[in-house]
C-alpha cells in the first residue's frame, strides 16, 4: 500500500511551517525523518495521520485503486505514538493494549472479545513483553514502556506506524533495540515512519531517510554521502 | 469480575446496616419490633411518623447525596486525568452553591421543584463556563483543573457574600456551608430524583469511553474516539450530580474525592468498575457520616460535611501515602 502526500503546505497566519512538500510512504519501508528542532517533522507527521489539515496539497491512498482521502479517514491507516506521550495512569501493560482494540462504531465491551484478545496476544508475542504484561505500566523501565507502545500500535492492525521522537530517555542499548524492532516490523510488511535525531542509527537501520530543512524536503533516499552533504548544506554552521 | 461482585456485596451489606441504624436510633430510639410495626402501617402513631416522615427521607437523601458526589468525583478524576477530581474542588457544584445562597437570601424562589431545577441549571452553566475557558482547540486536563478550582473559589466567595449581605442567620449559613441533611424531606428528594437519573444515565452512556482518555487525547483521537466530547459530557454529568448534592445538603466535602480512590484500590482501573463501585461506597460513607453527625452530640447535630471531612481527610492521607 502506498500513501502519497502531494505538494503539502502548512501555514499559520504568521508563519509557514511546510512549503510544497511531497512524500511517498510505502508499506514494508522503515523511513527515518531527520531534521532540526522546529523543522516541521511533527507537523508533517500530524498531517499524515490526519490530526492536522494541510493548508494546501492533497493526500492519496492507493491500495488496489487510488483515491484521494480527507484528513478524517487518514487515521484508519496510521497508528501513532505522539511526542512527549504520558504514562497512562493506573493501567497494566495489557490493559493499555486492550484499549488499542477500541472500535469507534461500537460500545466498549465489558469483556474483551476473542478476536481482540487474539490480536493483543499476537502483539505481546511479537514485541516480547509476555513477562511483564500484567505489571503496572508506570513501573516499567523506559525500554519496556517503548515495547508496550509499539505493541499498542500493532494491536490496532493499521498498515502504517508513525512514531514522533519517541526515543528520549532510552539508553543506547534500548535505542538500538528499538531501531531493530522497527526494522523487523517493516520487514514483516508494516510501513514505519520514525522522526529522530539519531543520524547514526537511522543510517544503520532505516531503508530510507528523509531530511527536512527550511520548510522543505532537502534529502530523500538511502543513508549515504549524499545525505551527509545535504545535512551540511542545511546546517552551514557545522564545521 | 469476581472481585467487583465481592466489593458490591460487602458495600451493600454495610449499606443495609447503615439504613437500619439510621431508622432505629435518634432522640427517640426504636426497637426492631417497633420499627417493623411502623414500616408495616404508615399512620399517625408517633413511631410511624418518626420513621416515615423524619428518618426515612433523611436516610434516602444521605444515600442519594453520597452516590451523586462519589459518581461526580469519579467522573472528574477519570476525565480530567487528575487525582484531585472532586465536585467541590473542580467547581462543578459552584452554580448550585450560588443558587442555594440566593434562595436563602430570599432573592429567588425557595419552592422545592423550582429551586432544585435552578440549582442544576446554574451548575451546568458553571461547568459550561469552566469548559468554555478550558477549550482552546482541546479541553486539556491541566487547564480544566486550574479553571475549575478558580470557579469553585469564586462561586463560594459569591455565595458567602450573598448570605452575608442578606444578613442570614449564622446558624443557617453554617448549616449550608458545613453540609447538612436537616430540614430536608420527601419533597426535596423527589424533586432531585429525575436529575440524579439523568446524571447517572449520561454517565452510563460515556463510561466505557472514559477509559480511552487515560491514553492522552492525541492517541484517543487517532483510535477514532472524540476525547473532548467525552470529557465535556463527563463534566456535564458531574455538574448535574454535584449540583443535586449541593441543593440537597449544602457543601458535603471529601466524599467525591475519597470514594473513587477507594474504589480504584478495590476494583482496579476500569472506569465502569470504578463508577459502579463508587455509587454504593459513596452512599455508605455518607450515610454513616450522617449517623455520627446525628447521634454523637444528640440532640444537637454537627454538620455532616464536618464529619465526612474529619473521617475522609485522614483516610485520604493514608491512601495518598500508600498509592502515589
| DSSP code for B253 | -
The pLDDT assigned to B139 comes to 63
CATH number of the domain encompassing residue B272? 1.10.3470.10
pLDDT above 80 for B93:
yes
The pLDDT assigned to A167 comes to 67
pLDDT above 70 for B136:
no
How far away is chain A from the Cα of B263, in angstroms, using its nearest Cα?
A: 13
Percent of chain A with pLDDT over 90: 44
pLDDT, tens digit, 9 for 90 and up, residues B143-202 = 888 888 899 999 999 998 998 888 877 778 888 888 888 878 898 899 999 999 999 999
**CB–CB contact B269 A92 (8 Å):** yes
Mean pLDDT to the nearest integer, A14-22: 90
pLDDT, tens digit, 9 for 90 and up, residues A162-203 = 999 776 678 888 889 899 999 999 999 999 999 998 888 999
Statement: A1-77+159-239 belongs to CATH 3.40.50.300: yes
How many C-beta neighbours within 10 Å does residue B154 have?
15
From B214, which residue of chain A is nearest by alpha-carbon distance? A88
The pLDDT assigned to A238 comes to 47
Percent of chain B with pLDDT over 70: 98
Inter-residue contact B89 to B148 (CB < 8 Å): yes
Mean pLDDT to the nearest integer, A42-59: 91
Beta bridge mates, A25:
A3
Inter-residue contact B94 to B152 (CB < 8 Å): yes
pLDDT, tens digit, 9 for 90 and up, residues B284-309 = 999 999 999 989 888 788 889 999 99
Within 8 A of B216 by CB-CB distance, chain A residues are 82, 85-86, 88
Q: What is the rounded average pLDDT for all residues in chain A? A: 87
How far away is chain A from the Cα of B76, in angstroms, using its nearest Cα?
A: 14
**CB–CB contact B223 A111 (8 Å):** no
The better pLDDT of the pair A153, B3 is held by A153
pLDDT above 60 for B324:
no
Confidence of residue A122 (pLDDT cuts 50, 70, 90): very high
Residue-range definition of the domain harbouring residue B198:
2-323
Inter-residue contact B168 to B105 (CB < 8 Å): yes
How far away is chain B from the Cα of A169, in angstroms, using its nearest Cα?
A: 19
Query: Hey, of B79, B85, B215, B229, which one would you mutate to test binding to chain A, going by the most A CBs within 10 A of its CB?
Result: B215
Domain boundaries, chain A: 1-77+159-239, 85-157
The pLDDT assigned to B1 comes to 56
Query: Hey, of B4, B80, B208, B218, which one would you mutate to test binding to chain A, going by the most A CBs within 10 A of its CB?
Result: B218
Query: Hey, of A52, A82, A108, which one would you mutate to test binding to chain B, going by the most B CBs within 10 A of its CB?
Result: A108
Q: What is the tally of structural domains in chain B?
A: 1
Give me the helix-helix angle, B227-249 and B112-134, nearest 10°: 150
How far away is chain A from the Cα of B69, in angstroms, using its nearest Cα?
A: 22
pLDDT above 90 for A154:
yes
Of A75, A78, A102, the CB nearest to B212: A102
Amino acid at each position: 500500500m502506498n500513501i502519497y502526500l502531494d505538494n503539502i503546505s502548512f501555514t499559520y497566519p504568521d508563519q509557514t511551517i511546510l512549503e510544497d512538500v511531497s512524500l511517498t510512504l510505502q508499506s514494508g519501508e522503515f523511513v527515518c525523518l531527520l531534521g532540526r528542532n522546529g523543522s516541521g517533522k511533527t507537523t508533517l507527521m500530524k498531517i499524515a495521520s490526519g490530526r492536522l489539515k494541510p493548508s494546501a496539497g492533497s493526500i492519496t491512498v492507493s491500495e488496489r485503486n487510488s483515491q484521494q482521502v480527507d484528513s478524517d479517514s487518514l487515521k484508519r491507516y496510521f497508528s501513532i505514538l505522539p511526542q512527549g506521550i504520558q504514562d497512562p495512569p493506573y493501567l497494566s501493560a495489557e490493559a493499555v493494549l486492550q484499549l488499542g482494540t477500541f472500535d469507534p462504531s461500537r460500545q466498549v465491551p465489558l469483556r474483551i472479545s476473542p478476536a481482540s484478545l487474539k490480536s493483543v496476544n499476537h502483539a505481546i508475542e511479537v514485541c516480547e513483553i509476555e513477562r511483564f504484561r500484567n505489571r503496572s505500566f508506570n513501573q516499567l523501565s523506559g525500554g519496556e514502556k517503548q515495547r508496550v507502545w509499539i505493541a499498542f500500535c500493532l494491536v490496532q492492525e493499521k498498515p502504517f506506524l508513525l512514531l514522533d521522537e519517541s526515543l528520549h530517555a532510552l539508553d543506547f542499548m534500548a535505542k538500538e533495540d528499538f531501531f531493530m524492532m522497527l526494522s523487523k516490523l517493516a520487514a514483516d510488511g508494516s510501513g514505519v515512519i520514525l522522526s529522530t535525531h539519531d543520524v547514526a542509527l537511522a543510517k544503520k537501520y532505516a531503508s530510507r531517510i528523509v531530511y527536512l530543512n527550511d520548510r522543505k524536503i532537502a534529502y530523500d533516499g538511502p543513508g549515504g554521502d549524499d545525505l551527509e552533504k545535504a545535512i551540511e548544506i542545511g546546517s552551514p554552521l557545522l564545521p | 469480575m469476581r472481585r467487583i461482585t465481592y466489593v458490591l456485596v460487602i458495600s451493600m451489606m454495610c449499606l443495609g446496616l447503615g439504613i437500619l441504624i439510621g431508622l432505629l436510633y435518634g432522640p427517640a430510639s426504636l426497637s426492631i419490633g417497633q420499627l417493623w410495626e411502623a414500616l408495616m402501617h404508615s399512620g399517625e402513631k408517633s413511631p410511624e411518623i418518626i420513621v416515615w416522615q423524619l428518618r426515612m427521607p433523611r436516610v434516602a437523601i444521605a444515600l442519594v447525596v453520597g452516590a451523586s458526589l462519589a459518581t461526580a468525583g469519579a467522573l472528574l478524576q477519570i476525565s480530567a486525568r487528575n487525582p484531585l477530581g472532586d465536585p467541590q474542588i473542580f467547581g462543578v457544584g459552584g452554580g448550585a452553591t450560588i443558587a442555594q445562597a440566593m434562595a436563602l437570601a430570599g432573592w429567588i424562589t425557595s419552592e422545592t421543584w423550582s429551586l432544585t431545577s435552578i440549582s442544576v441549571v446554574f451548575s451546568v452553566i458553571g461547568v459550561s463556563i469552566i469548559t468554555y475557558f478550558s477549550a482552546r482547540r482541546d479541553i486539556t486536563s491541566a487547564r480544566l483543573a486550574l479553571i475549575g478550582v478558580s470557579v469553585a473559589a469564586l462561586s463560594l466567595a459569591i455565595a458567602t457574600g450573598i448570605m452575608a449581605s442578606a444578613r442570614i442567620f449564622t446558624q443557617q449559613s453554617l448549616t449550608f456551608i458545613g453540609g447538612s441533611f436537616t430540614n430536608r424531606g420527601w419533597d426535596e428528594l423527589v424533586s432531585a430524583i429525575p436529575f440524579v437519573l439523568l446524571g447517572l444515565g449520561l454517565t452510563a452512556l460515556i463510561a466505557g469511553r472514559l477509559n480511552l482518555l487515560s491514553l492522552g487525547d492525541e492517541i484517543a483521537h487517532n483510535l477514532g474516539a472524540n476525547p473532548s466530547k467525552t470529557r465535556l459530557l463527563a463534566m456535564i454529568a458531574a455538574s448535574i450530580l454535584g449540583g443535586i448534592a449541593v441543593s440537597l445538603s449544602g457543601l458535603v466535602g471529601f466524599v467525591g474525592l475519597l470514594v473513587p480512590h477507594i474504589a480504584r484500590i478495590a476494583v482496579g482501573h476500569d472506569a465502569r468498575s470504578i463508577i459502579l463501585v463508587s455509587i454504593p461506597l459513596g452512599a455508605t460513607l455518607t450515610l454513616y457520616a450522617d449517623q455520627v453527625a446525628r447521634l454523637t452530640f444528640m440532640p444537637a447535630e454537627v454538620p455532616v460535611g464536618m464529619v465526612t471531612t474529619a473521617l475522609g481527610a485522614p483516610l485520604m492521607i493514608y491512601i495518598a501515602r500508600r498509592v502515589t
